[in-house]
Structures are given as C-alpha cells and as structure tokens.
Amino acid sequence: MTTEPSIVLRLSGITKRFGPLVANDAISFDLQRGEVIALLGENGAGKTTLMNILFGHYVADGGSVEAFGNQLPPGDPRAALDAGIGMVHQHFTLADNMTVLENISLGTQSLWRPRLDRAAARRRIGQLAADFGLAVEPDATVASLSVGERQRVEILKALYRDARILILDEPTAVLTPAETDALFRTLKLLVAKGLSIIFISHKLNEVMAVSDRVLVLRSGRLSGERLTRDTERKELAALMVGQEVKPAEVAAVEPGAELLVLDNVSTARRNGAALDRVSLSLRAGEITGLAGVSGNGQAALAALISGTERPTAGTIVIGGAPMGEWSPRTALGHGVARIPEDRHAVGTIGDMSVTENVIAERYRSERFSRMGFLDWKAARRFAEKIIADYDVKCPSPEARIRLLSGGNMQKLILGRALDPEPAVILASQPTRGLDVGAVSYVHRMLLAARQRGAAVLLISEDLEEIMALSDRIVVMSKGRLSAPSARGERTIRELGELMAGHGDERGDHAA
C-alpha cells in the first residue's frame, strides 16, 4: 500500500489588497513532496504578488504560509530561505564580473568565518552539478557563460543553500529548444531526489510536459485546478482568460515590393554582438521571423532599423532609395514603426501619462503640434482612440502608464505604432511576458497589418511564435544571418541548432 507524499508547502486564505485593488483573494493550495505544480494566469492575475508574499517581500492582509509544517513569519525573506525555499527569477540575479563559484557561495559563509573555504565550496558545487546534470565551470566568470549556463548557475545557487522547494519564474523564456530539453531533464532529477517545484510559465505546451498539477489564477482568485493528465491546453487557456482562445489564422498573402533592404550592413559593437555584413529584405504583405538566442545581434538589428544605431558599413534602402543620414526621426518619417523589446525601459516612460506616452514619438508632427505648441486636445483624442480601439484597461488618459499591467501597456505601444498605418513594422519580442489572451491579441494585430500590406520583422526568442506567424524565417547567430527558409521548411530542432551556432549556415542574405 502506497502512502501519499507529505505536504511541504501550504498557503491558506492568502489575501492582499493595494487600495481598492484585490491582488490576491483568499487563495489556498498545497504543494507535496516531489510534485511539480504549474502556476498559470493572465498578466495582473496575482501570480507575482502571491510569490512575493511567499518570500516575505510583501505582508498579506489575510491568510498564512506554512513550510514543512511550520508557519513562516510574514515579511521575513530570510525565514523563507532558511525554510528551504529557493527561486530562480526570469531575469537572472548574477554578478557578471564574478566567477561561478563566487556567485553561488556569495552570502552563505558565516560572519564569524568571513573567509570562504573555496576548496570545500568547489567540492560541493561539483557534487551538486554531477547529481543534477548541471555542468558548469566553477572558475569561469559569469559574463563568459551562455544563457543556459547562467540558468544552471541560478539553480545551483538555490541548491547550494539547501533548497527543498524551488520556484521557477518563466524559466524557458530565453532558452533554445536544446537548453529547454536539458532543463526539463534536470527538473526530473530534482523531483526524483524529493524536491518540489512551482513552475510559472505562459507556455502551455511546457506546462503540459513538466507539471503534475496546474493552478490557474484569474483576477486575483484561484479560477481552476486540474491534474495535468486530465486536462488539455484548450481548457487551461479558457480558464486563464474566461473564454475560449483561438489561435490567429494566417491567411495566404502574395508578398509585394521590397519596402526596406539592408545591404551588407555592419554596426559597431555595443552591448551584445554587433552586426556582421547582414543583408535582409522586408517585403510588403510579409512577416519575416528572426529567431536567435539573446545577445547574438538581434538588439543591434532592432536598433539599426529603428534609427537608434547607425551602420558602420553597408547601405539601408527604403522604397528603393538609399538612406544617407539615419536617425529615429528619419526612420519614422519613412514609415518605420517600432514595438521595442523592453516596454518598461525603452517603450514607455513610467511616470508620464498615457497621453504623453502615446504621442512621444510624434509630438512634433502636424497631428499634435500647432505653431510649435502641443495640441493637448488632439493628443487626448488620440489616446482615447487607442484605449477604445485596442481595449486597453486604463483608468483615464491622464493615468501614469506605470500603473498599467504589462498586457495593457503593450496594447498602447501597439496602438502608437500602428496608427497611422506604417509601411514597415519592427516587432521586437512583442509578446514577451504576456499571457495567452494578450499574445493572441498581439498576433491578430500583426497579421492584420500584414494583410494591409505592411512589411513586418518579427524578432522573437519563442520559436513557436516565429513558426506560427512568419512567412519566411531567418536565424541570427554571432551577428550573422542564416539564409531564409519558408514557413514549414525547417523544424524547430533545425532552427534551434542554427540558434546555437550549429547546423547548415547557408549564407548571410535574405532574398
């Protein structure tokens, strides 16, 4: 007769309010030893708030947290760590200029023995790496590591602190398919050793592959709980957004003229890889998907097309005319619109209003300027139009944009970019961190722009997104482009090999 696994974590009636907003409403669930729970929910559903309460960063207005039978004191992160709870954040918290060993052991030694026993630390890291398939070089600096290697360091850092409960926040967001497979193998080893895992993700296929049970949050409440073996992606998506989510339909479109051409373009090295003799053609009525692991030159390409980076060699051609002086104003003036990768740091200014943000790129245009003065009535009308047309959940056009959820912020950026209708759209990571409903909305908007005849460059680290939307696909590795392939010509595995710098490099030109 088998016995049920013991409960290692219990959240009971967790409630958290921010003024009139109820972020968490009486949420309760248990986590068992050796179990993987997937936590799903729309942007703003309350997942982050719940994890911050679990770690003691927030104090709940009601409810309690127990770990291994002991109630955790509210607002005490150290108590959560001491109880054996570890977390790997989506954006890694590592010091690039320090070694792997130094990052993992930082903060673990006693104040009475401030000098680190490096030999003992190296032995323990080696043992953990061997036990869980997390191969790393202890003396390598973090700056020299790939994204997948950095994630291994983050997991080792938690295990080094004797974590028995591991929370993974969007763990595959920046991984190649091969790195994702390696992570899933590690998770199986962790679970086999008795660790329990909370897996936060927007990727339903991964949730189905890795979890035992799925919890769905909607509007701060637990809207559903399912055993993974008894559910399917369609049901989980409906639980997240309250209705059935249908994938965007990609209608056949005959591509038109070349609207933007990069001819043998190189750029100076900034952060990440520079462009190295890149040639690319963006055609009317076509979505060109650009896949690649973060740091391989996608950011440089996005900066170049948006005008914030100038080429050191090669030519930019728009509408058949070579561009001389190149700047953001020049790009906008020639019908190039951008959806930037980082909506918080680049796409918006948090303490400015919604109205100020939606006119930020065109406030000098005749649409919003009269004799050198801003026409605030026209600006407000434009903001109201975007709020209505794009179904933005927003208190008012005067609200500070930082108060909006990620999905609503992205809708405003979409509206700003797509009105008036641009000739070329640069969409860089347009659905990163968005829930399934918001992702579907963004996809529909990009496909509608394609249908109208816009040329779209979709830069994404999500291969499923690239393969679902793109008419042609190119892969960037170390600042260079592969030859293009038509939709369905290459498998996810083949694209992943190109992303990792392997496979058939068929040239640096996209016709």
Domain-ending residue, one of 207, 241, 275:
241
Q: Is residue 510 part of a domain?
A: no
Contacts of 372 (CB under 8 A, 6+ apart): none
CA dist 366 and 180 (Å) reads 49
What is the C-alpha to C-alpha distance for residues 192 and 196, in angstroms, rounded to an integer? 10
Asked whether residue 17 is assigned to any structural domain, the reply reads yes
Cα–Cα distance for residue pair 155/149, rounded to 1 Å? 10
Q: Is the pLDDT of residue 356 over 50?
A: yes
Same domain, 279 and 170: no
* Domain co-membership, 124 together with 167: yes
Count Cα neighbours of 301 within 13 Å in the Cβ-side half-sphere. 37
Cα 245 to Cα 484: distance, rounded to the nearest angstrom: 31
- The overall longest dimension of the chain from CA atoms, in Å, is 84
Residue that finishes a domain, picked among 241, 268, 302: 241
Residue 400 in domain: yes
pLDDT digits (tens, 9 = 90+) for 264-309: 999 987 766 789 999 999 999 999 999 988 778 888 999 999 999 9
Expressed as residue numbers, the domain containing 327 is 258-499
Distance CA 458, CA 396 (A): 31
CB 94 within 8 A of CB 141: no
* Residue 32 shares a structural domain with residue 75: yes
Q: Which of the four pLDDT bands, split at 50, 70 and 90, describes residue 5?
A: low
Q: Transcribe 56-121 into DSSP letters.
A: TSS--SEEEEEETTEEPPTT-HHHHHHTTEEEE-SS----TTSBHHHHHHTTTS-TTS-S--HHHH
Q: Each residue of 6-21: pLDDT tens digit?
A: 899 999 999 999 888 7
Of 402, 292, 409, 278, whose CA–CA distance to 339 is shortest?
Answer: 409
Cα separation, 471 vs 484, whole angstroms: 10
In the block, which residue shows the tokens 């003024």? 19
Same domain, 207 and 312: no
Q: What is the pTM of this model?
A: 0.69
Residue 505 lies in a domain: no
Which DSSP string do the residues of 478-504 spell out, in sequence order? TTEEPPPEETTTS-HHHHHHHHTT-S-
Decide which of 241, 268, 293 is a domain's last residue: 241
Assess whether pLDDT exceeds 50 at residue 511.
Answer: no
Q: Which residues contact 105 (CB under 8 A, 6 or more apart)?
A: 116, 121, 160
156-212: pLDDT as tens digits:
888 888 889 999 887 876 676 777 888 888 889 899 989 999 998 877 888 899 999
The closest of 269, 179, 186 to 501, measured between CA atoms, is: 179
Q: Is residue 246 part of a domain?
A: no
Structurally, the chain folds into a number of domains equal to: 2
pLDDT of residue 272: 66
Cβ neighbourhood burial of 262 (10 Å; 0-12, 13-18, 19+): buried
Q: Is residue 504 part of a domain?
A: no
The tokens of 142 are what?
A: 């973090």
What digits encode the pLDDT tens for the residues 442-453? 899 999 999 999
At residue 510, the pLDDT reads 46
